[in-house]
């Protein structure tokens, strides 16, 4: 047994034939009082991985159909392909006979030592000299008690004056430095306020679809994250996230399409 909150809250139990029971707790709620989408993704990814027989997801694409509720849900998993290098499958989360989210993911181990990086981590002061946004406009409770954040400055939105610049750079880790596996990387890609909040007249954003690339388990220490919205058209916008580990490696990246509300 574990007493780790992340382990407990993202676990699901097998009922046979690819069906699993999953309890969504209120410990990962957003300020809107619903379980965070990244938390749902991590729990679904762990459950699908258990069914597929791999704890090494490489890419995970999730579509959010309806707002989730705290409470029980049913995860129905299907392994589509078990190849030599890549295993792929899908999972659907239902609550009260309604589809909440659908996940497609591919699993596999990295091999080979080729490396190319055309990007760079965000430039941030040392974490020790950064600000903890809790107590500076980031409401306590739910997900914001499960993740530690450090920023060079408190974002404008949190102080009631959006900056107009739809980008956030910050440090992130699971609370108290709990080690981060690949499903937790997927969670962290959607575990901060959307940078679209820095645009004038935006009060919230709902994710429609999120795809995460999970390259590697990070080295211990803070992750440096960059969240960017580059493109808004009508009420739709993109949001990219990059996660860089303490050795300067890109360990995950994601892109989502979301709806301004």
User: Could you tell me the smallest distance in angstroms from the CB atom of residue 86 to its own copies?
Assistant: 6
How big is the CA angle at 149 (ends 101 and 225), to the nearest 5 degrees?
A: 70
**Residue number with CB closer to its own copies (106 or 173):** 106
Q: How far apart are CA 178 and CA 217, in angstroms?
A: 13
**Residue number with CB closer to its own copies (25 or 102):** 102
**Residue number with CB closer to its own copies (43 or 251):** 251
**Residue number with CB closer to its own copies (32 or 120):** 120
Q: Which two tokens stand for residue 128?
A: 């020790």
**Residue number with CB closer to its own copies (9 or 242):** 242
- CB-based contacts of 101: which residues, under 8 Å, 6+ apart? 37, 40, 41, 44, 62, 63, 64, 65, 68, 92, 93
User: Could you tell me the smallest distance in angstroms from the CB atom of residue 67 to its own copies?
Assistant: 11
The answer to whether 214 touches 58, Cβ cutoff 8 Å, is yes
User: Could you tell me the smallest distance in angstroms from the CB atom of residue 73 to its own copies?
Assistant: 15
* Chain contacts with its own copies (rule: CB under 8 A): 58-59, 61, 63, 65-66, 80-81, 83, 85-86, 88, 90, 92, 99, 102, 104, 106, 110-119, 166, 199, 208-209, 211, 213, 215-216, 228-238, 250, 253, 255, 257, 259-260
Q: What is the DSSP letter of 121?
A: P
User: Could you tell me the smallest distance in angstroms from the CB atom of residue 220 to its own copies?
Assistant: 19
Q: What is the DSSP letter of 196?
A: G
User: Could you tell me the smallest distance in angstroms from the CB atom of residue 206 to its own copies?
Assistant: 10
Q: How far apart are CA 68 and CA 28, in angstroms?
A: 12
How big is the CA angle at 37 (ends 31 and 40), to the nearest 5 degrees?
A: 120
């Amino acid at each position: 047994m574990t007493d780790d909150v992340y382990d407990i809250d993202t676990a699901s139990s097998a009922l046979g034939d690819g069906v699993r029971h999953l309890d969504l707790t209120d410990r990962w709620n957003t300020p809107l009082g619903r379980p965070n989408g990244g938390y749902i993704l991590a729990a679904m990814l762990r459950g699908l991985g258990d069914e597929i027989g791999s704890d090494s997801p490489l890419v995970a694409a999730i579509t959010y159909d309806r707002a989730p509720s705290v409470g029980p849900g049913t995860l129905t998993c299907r392994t589509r392909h078990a190849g030599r290098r890549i295993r792929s499958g899908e999972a659907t989360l239902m609550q009260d006979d309604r589809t909440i989210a659908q996940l497609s993911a591919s699993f596999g181990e990295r091999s080979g030592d080729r490396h190319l990086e055309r990007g760079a981590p965000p430039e941030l002061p040392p974490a020790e000299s950064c600000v903890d946004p809790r107590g500076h406009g980031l409401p306590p409770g739910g997900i914001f008690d499960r993740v530690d954040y450090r920023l060079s400055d408190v974002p404008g939105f949190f102080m009631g004056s959006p900056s107009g610049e739809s980008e956030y750079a910050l440090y992130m880790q699971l609370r108290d430095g709990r080690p981060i596996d690949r499903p937790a990387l997927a969670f962290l890609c959607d575990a901060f306020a959307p940078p679209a909040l820095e645009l004038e007249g935006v009060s919230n954003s709902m994710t429609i679809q999120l795809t995460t690339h999970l390259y590697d388990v990070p080295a211990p220490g803070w992750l440096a994250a960059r969240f960017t919205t580059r493109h808004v058209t009508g009420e739709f916008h993109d949001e990219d996230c990059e996660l860089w580990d303490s050795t300067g490696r890109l360990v995950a990246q994601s892109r989502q399409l979301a709806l301004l509300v």
